[in-house]
Structure 1
Amino acid sequence: MKVVNYTEFRNNLSENLNEVNDDGDIVIVSRSKGKNVVVMSLEEYNSIQETLHLTSTKANRKQLDIAVEEMNKGQFVKRKLIEK
């Protein structure tokens, strides 16, 4: 994670955005009135949103916990993908 002030972010916009996209880095832009912003790749944002959705209900969280526990115990069936 990288923290830069607004002027530095703006002056090095391309470099900062490349770090976000190429390195998966998150950049926090510190602003003078304390209203900071976070810059992250769309891929990272979508991943966070999906995780929030999957864990949004008690039933989903329980099912995911069970699946992870089964996987960790080796209680799964490995299958080949169907290719068309």
Structure 2
Amino acid sequence: MEAVAYSNFRQNLKQYMKQVNEDADALIVTAKDAEDTVVVLSKREYDSLQESLRILSNSYLMEKIRRGDTQFRKKQFQTHDLLEVKEDD
């Protein structure tokens, strides 16, 4: 994760915003006062983190994931061909 000083970030805001979106990596923006340091990340990455937190905090869903993972490791699963869906013209 790259770090940049606030003044440099401000002067090159457009470039850093583009970089954060293209690299899918967060950027640390440092300030003189460490309490004012922030992390900048793309909306896509933010949304992904939020969804991960929602899933991890849902005990019912996590249990289903763990059960499926156990079944997969024990090869207790079935495979199916994908269905082709024809779109109406």
Match of 2:43 in 1: 42
Is 1:27 the equivalent of 2:27?
yes
Shift of the alpha carbon at 1:7? 0.5
Greater Cα radius of gyration, structure 1 or 2: 2
Match of 1:17 in 2: 17
Deviating beyond 4 angstroms after TM superposition, the runs of 4 or more aligned structure 1 residues are none
| Residue identity in the other structure for 2:17 | L
TM norm structure 2: 0.77
Shift of the alpha carbon at 1:73? 4.1
Supply the distance in 2 between the matched residues of 1:43 and 1:72 (Cα, whole angstroms): 31
TM norm structure 1: 0.81
Relative to 1, partners in 2 of residues 1:82 and 1:38: Cα closer, same or farther, differing over 3 Å?
A: farther
CA RMSD, 1 decimal = 1.9
Relative to 1, partners in 2 of residues 1:6 and 1:66: Cα closer, same or farther, differing over 3 Å?
A: same
Name the count of aligned residue pairs: 84
Is 1:76 the equivalent of 2:77?
yes
Supply the distance in 2 between the matched residues of 1:81 and 1:39 (Cα, whole angstroms): 41
Shift of the alpha carbon at 1:82? 5.9
Relative to 1, partners in 2 of residues 1:50 and 1:4: Cα closer, same or farther, differing over 3 Å?
A: same
